Structure 1
Amino acid sequence: MEEYEIAVIGGGPAGIMAAIAASKNSSNVIILEKNPKLGRKLLTTGGGRCNITNAKPIKKLLKFYPQKNFLKHSFYTLTNEYLLSFFENKGLNFIEEDNNRIFPESEKSSDILKILTDYLEDVVISYNFEVKSISDDFVINDKIKADKIIIATGGITYPQTGCSIDNYFLTSQPLTDIKYGLVPLVTKKDLSSIAGVTLYDVVISYKKTKVQGNVLISHVGLTGPGIIDLSNDISESISYNLLENDDVDVDFEIAIDLCPESSREELQDKFNQDFQTKGKTMIKNYLKLFLTNKFIDFFLDEINLDGETQLSRINKKSKNRLIENLKRFTFNITGFNDKLAKVTIGGIDLDSINPKTMESTIIPDLYFAGEVLDLHGPTGGYNLKIAFSTGYLAGLSASEKKKDRN
């Protein structure tokens, strides 16, 4: 039986960073990776460009996470400056885009993975190793014995990369409900006729929650940054648990303000004036002032108004209906497009983890990092930040604890 000081289960960003940090103080670290290569999910992030982190100052950054108090120590242990220095020291530079998103200057996630792999020169990597069992004395699959174990197996998203719901049951750690996060929405109505249309900088509402951003219409529903970010609040508000049942039955409504820059009163005043001065203009042409061209016919069909009707012929009731729907156009949602979920909501209960070390408070010498934990953030580099920072803290803590014993 092979013996190691530290075994890291999972070769994604959290697992790789955990192994890098652990190897600073230990020369006997192994990564157990289910796939034939490391970092398969990392390669897909940011559309293959790898939105590695978000450049906001830590205090401001933490406000974007529901679990900000838990994350504080890990974020200060591996700051953005320190994280980026790993790559800059190897010749890779970075660019900052809108909303403080950080990408490699080469715009290739493969460059991020290559450099991370270079730092693993003192780490043993066992590929195609699917962990099936961990005994109480840290024997893995009856083949490997470890003094310490770091679990960084990810969530349930992108199952083709090796993520599996079974990974949550490798230990007896308590779990929260598992849900889809950063996920497109499936609409009741068939939207294939307007697939590809983007609604720019609109305000999307679900109950009392509002998000401003772009909405992209797909063949089966709604996606785009605005929808993806709102989906976390939606998913968390609905009672379901993928550990018990993966058939999520939902039925709710979201509303989109298509003209957030104008109030109802301002639209009313503008319509009253324009409908008189531009009376011969057909409504489908007039709406080009407010809507994307390809969306206009769909919009008018939904509110039951003939697009070729001249403005002067639109009565007060129809005018009010126009204004109401420009300010609150609704879609009925019947599901999540789970195959495109970007993160997992839920996981290992944070109440059972020491945030200053990432060690279990139930099982000594067992550590967790990354998406397997009940941690998540919005789009824009926030979730990779979790992976790298918690991974680094877990690896450092595990190796330093061993070092202190000596």
Structure 2
Amino acid sequence: MKEYDIAVIGGGPAGMMAAVAASKTSKVVLLEKNSQLGRKLLITGGGRCNITNNKPIKKLLNSYSNKNFLKHSFYSFTNEDLFSFFNLDFIEEDDNRVFPKSEKSSDILKVISDKLDDVDLIYNFEVKSISDDFVINDKLKAQKIIIATGGVTYPQTGCSPKNYSLTSQPITDIKYGLVPLITKKDLSSIAGVTLYDVVISYKKSRVKGNVLFSHVGLTGPGVINLSNEISESISYNLLEDENVDLDLEIAIDLIPELSREELQDKFNKDFQLKGKTKLKNYLKLFLTNSFIEFFLDDIGIDSEIQLSNINKKAKNRLIENLKRFIFEITSFNKDLSKVTIGGIDLNYVNSKTLESSVIPNLYFAGEVLNLHGPTGGYNLKIAFSTGYLAGISASQK
């Protein structure tokens, strides 16, 4: 039976980074379920690989609900360390999102793969059992183990609920994260239309961002960021039931730059000055042109009506819906969930080393932990930083 100092389970970004970091001083094996490494990494950012978010580190940490746990990981492996590690040309786009200049996730995968020269790689190796003395599948043994098996989304990349039961480590409920929402309304007539910089709200949660209409529902950065709030507010566990029915409402403020009172004043003035203008043409001042007909039809106002002919009741209905356009949500679009909410319970993991406080010499990295962030490079940042910290910590004798 072959023996190693450290076995890393999972060849995603966190697992690869952990293996690279640990291999500087230790004999390491990386066990990958698929026939290739980084299958999920290749599809991140639409294949462009949004490798991190380049906000200053304190502001970056404030974007996470578990910022105190992440602090040591992020300071151990900063964005500057990340850029130096990959040594590629990067571009920074809106909202501090960082991509390789080539816009190819395969370039990121190649760099980190090339740094695994001192690591034994075993492909098509599905870990089914880990004994108390760290014998894996009765085939190899390690002094320490790093589990970086990811979450449950994108099962085609190797993620599986079974990975949570490899050890007796406590876990939280597992839920969908960054997931599009399926609506009761038929949106096929406006599929592909985007609303820019609107405010989407659910109960007390408010998110500003773009909304993209699909044939079955809502997506886009604003919606999928709000989906985390929705998912976390509902009691369910994907380890028990992956079908989650929803019966809730979200509202979109289509003109967030104006309050109701300001909109009321503007309408009162404009409806007098531009009385002969058709409503559908006037609303081009505020709404995406291809959305106007759908909007007016939905709230029952004639798009051809002239402003001077709109009565007070219709005007109030128009204002109410411009400030609070309701969508009934029936379910998550689970096949497009980008991350997993939940995972290894952080209460039983040392944030400074990522070692289990329950099972000595067992470490965790990446999405398998109960860590997640919004869309925009935040989740790959978790993967690379926790992977590095876990690898360095496990390699210390």
How high is the TM-score relative to the length of structure 2?
A: 0.99
Which residue pairs with 1:336 in the alignment?
A: 332
Q: What's the CA shift for 1:60?
A: 1.5
Which residue pairs with 2:342 in the alignment?
A: 346
1:168 aligns with 2:161: no
Q: What's the CA shift for 1:276?
A: 1.8
1:398 aligns with 2:391: no
Q: What's the CA shift for 1:294?
A: 1.2
For residues 256-275 of structure 1, the aligned pairs below 5 Å read 256-275=252-271
For residues 156-305 of structure 1, the aligned pairs below 5 Å read 156-305=152-301
1:16 aligns with 2:12: no
Q: What's the CA shift for 1:392?
A: 0.6
Which residue pairs with 2:304 in the alignment?
A: 308
Greater Cα offset, 269-278 or 206-215: 269-278
| RMSD of aligned residue pairs (Cα, Å) | 0.9
- Identity percentage over the alignment? 79
For residues 362-401 of structure 1, the aligned pairs below 5 Å read 362-400=358-396
Greater Cα offset, 386-395 or 52-61: 52-61
- Give me the whole-angstrom Cα distance separating, in 1, the residues matched to 2:273 and 2:74: 59
- Give me the whole-angstrom Cα distance separating, in 2, the residues matched to 1:5 and 1:59: 35
| Structure 1: gaps of 5 or more residues | none
Which residue pairs with 1:36 in the alignment?
A: 35
| Structure 2: gaps of 5 or more residues | none
Q: What's the CA shift for 1:103?
A: 1.0
Which residue pairs with 1:2 in the alignment?
A: 2
Q: What's the CA shift for 1:371?
A: 0.2
Which residue pairs with 1:61 in the alignment?
A: 60
Letter in 2 for 1:104: P
Counterpart pick for 1:127 among 123, 128, 133: 123
Q: What's the CA shift for 1:277?
A: 2.0
Greater Cα offset, 383-392 or 264-273: 264-273
Partner-residue secondary structure (3-state), 2:11: coil
- Give me the whole-angstrom Cα distance separating, in 2, the residues matched to 1:94 and 1:295: 35
Which residue pairs with 2:144 in the alignment?
A: 148
- Give me the whole-angstrom Cα distance separating, in 1, the residues matched to 2:181 and 2:133: 44
- Give me the whole-angstrom Cα distance separating, in 2, the residues matched to 1:301 and 1:100: 38
Letter in 2 for 1:53: T
Which residue pairs with 1:115 in the alignment?
A: 111
Q: Deviations over 1:178-202 (max 9, x none)?
A: 0011110110111111101101110
Partner-residue secondary structure (3-state), 2:197: strand
Partner-residue secondary structure (3-state), 1:95: strand
**Would you identify which runs of 4 or more consecutive aligned residues in structure 1 move more than 3 Å?**
none
What is the number of equivalent residue pairs in this alignment?
Answer: 397
Partner-residue secondary structure (3-state), 1:174: coil
Q: Deviations over 1:342-395 (max 9, x none)?
A: 110000000110111111101111110000000001111111111011111111
Q: Deviations over 1:191-235 (max 9, x none)?
A: 111101101110111111111111000011000011011111111
Letter in 2 for 1:128: N
Q: Deviations over 1:144-179 (max 9, x none)?
A: 111111000000111110001111111111110100
Q: What's the CA shift for 1:42?
A: 0.5
For residues 64-103 of structure 1, the aligned pairs below 5 Å read 64-88=63-87, 92-103=88-99
Partner-residue secondary structure (3-state), 1:271: helix
How high is the TM-score relative to the length of structure 1?
A: 0.96
